[in-house]
Amino acid sequence: MTEQPDFAIERLGECRFPSPMKKVRFFDDRERIMYHSRFDEIRPYLDQGSAPPTLELAGPRERIFFDPSAIACGIVTCGGLCPGTNNVIRALVLSLHHHYGVRKIYGFRYGFEGLVQRIGHSPLELTPETVDNIGQLGGTILASSRGPQDPAEMLATLEKLKVGILFTIGGDGTLKGAAAVAAEAARRGSPISVIGIPKTIDNDISCVQTTFGFETAVAEAQRAIYAAHTEAAGAKNGIGLVKLMGRDSGFIAAFSSLAGGLVNFCLVPESPFGLDGFLASLRERLEQRSHAVVAVAEGAGQELMGNTGERDASGNVKYGDIGIYLRDSIRKHFTRNGMELNLKYIDPSYIIRSQPANPHDSALCLMFGHNAVHAGMTGRTNMVVGFWNHLFTHVPILQATSRRKRIDPDGWLWSSVLASTGQPREMR
C-alpha cells in the first residue's frame, strides 16, 4: 500500500463573515492541485484504487473566519537574513490594511524573543506608511534571532495584544516554533491562527519549489564566481575557490554553476566526494587547462572533517568550514607535489544574504505575503504557504518540515551540473 501524505489543513472554525475584498476571483476550498507531476509517481495510487495526493490551492475566499475590525495581527522574522524578507513584511501589512481593513498590526522584534514579554523587546506598530519603502532594503526591519522560546509565554503575549493571526517568516526551525505556538493555542482553546511563510536562502523546504531570495542569491553568487574565474585565468595554475551557502542542500552552488558555465568543480552535500579523488581531478584539470574554478556549498564534505559535536542556538549541528579546509588541503597537495599554485579563496556568504531582493524575488515575496493573509483570515492555522508546480498552496507545517528538499544525485539538475562542469560523477 502506497503511503498517502496528509495534506489536510487545520481550521479554527466556520467562516461566518463575508470577505471585504471586491472584484477578485475567489477560490473554492475544493480546488486542489496534484502533488506529484510524473505518471510513474501517480500510478501506484491508481493501481490500488486510491486518489493521488493533492494540495489545497491558496488564494482569497468568499467568506472569512475573523472580523477584520476586531482583530490585531502579528509578524515575526526569525533565523538568518535573506533577500526579500522586508518585501514580505510590506506585502503582509498592505494586504491586511487595504484588502481586509485590519488596522492593528504588530511587528515583533528579534525573532521569537519579541514574543516573550520578560525579555523586553517592545513590538513595533506597522502601517502602510512605516513599510512604504522597505522593499528596497536588505535584511529585516524587525531584526531577527535564532533559537526557540516557550510557546506558553509567546501565546500569552499574543492573547494580551488580542492578536488573531501570527505570521512567522523563517525556515525549518521557525516553522517548528510556529507549530509549537499553534499547538499551544489549540490546547488552550485560543482562536489564534499561525501562518508560516517559508524563508530559506538555501531553497530547501519541502513542498516549496522556489523560496524567495534564492534567485537573488544565485545572481549575487555569480559575481563571486566571475571574480574567481578572472583571478584563476589570470595566473599560471590559478584556482578560484568560492564557498557558497547550502548547509544540507546545494541548490545555490548548483544553479550558480549552471548560470555562468565557468565552474569546473561543483561540490554539494548531496554528492559525497573523497579528498584524494577531488585533488587528483583538480590536478588533472590544471595540467590540461592551467586554471580551475571550484564552487563548494558550505555543507559539502563534512565527512572529511569529522563532527564537531557542537550545536548552534537553533539546535543545528555546527559544521566545519569546508572552504578553509579545501583551501589548505589544495595548497598542501600542490606544495607536496612541487607544483606552482595561485589560489584565491572567496567567501561571499554575508554579502549575498544581506542584499535586497531582485525584481523576480520581489514579486514572489508579494504573492507569498498576500496568500498568507488570505489563509490567515479564513482561520487556517498550523500551515505554511507553499509554491508547487508554479501555483501557491496550503501545506501543513508538519509536512513542510518532515524532510529537507535536496538535490537528487540521479536527477536532471545534477546531471546538468556534471555536463556543464565536466567533473567526474565519482571522486573518491
Which of the residues are catalytic? 202
DSSP string, 205-256: BTTBSS-TTHHHHHHHHHHHHHHHHHHHHTSTTEEEEEEE--SS--HHHHHH
Distance CA 381, CA 9 (A): 7
Distance CA 388, CA 372 (A): 15
**Ramachandran sector of residue 13 (left: φ over 0; alpha: ψ -120 to 50; beta: rest):** left
Kindly provide the residue ranges of all beta strands, DSSP E only, lying in 90-212, ordered along the sequence: 104-108, 124-125, 163-170, 193-198
| Percentage helix, strand, coil for the chain under 3-state DSSP, each rounded to 5 | 40, 20, 45
Contact, 218 vs 359, CB < 8 A? no
C-alpha neighbours within 13 Å on the C-beta side of residue 384: 31
Q: Give the distance between the most distant pair of CA atoms in the chain.
A: 78
Amino acid type, 135? G
- Burial class of residue 226 in the structure, from the number of CB atoms within 10 Å of its CB (0-12 exposed, 13-18 middle, 19+ buried): middle
Contact, 381 vs 156, CB < 8 A? no
Distance CA 126, CA 100 (A): 15
Amino acid type, 53? P
Q: Kindly report each contact of residues 153-157 with a partner whose C-beta sits within 8 Å and lies 24 or more positions away, as own/partner.
A: 153/115, 153/116, 153/117, 153/118, 154/112, 154/115, 154/116, 154/181, 154/184, 155/181, 155/184, 155/185, 155/188, 155/190, 155/192, 156/117, 157/115, 157/116, 157/117
| Cα 21 to Cα 25, 95, 98, 128, 252, distances in angstroms | 10, 10, 9, 18, 38
- Non-local (6+) Cβ contacts of 129 within 8 A are none
- Non-local (6+) Cβ contacts of 28 within 8 A are none
Contact, 355 vs 177, CB < 8 A? no
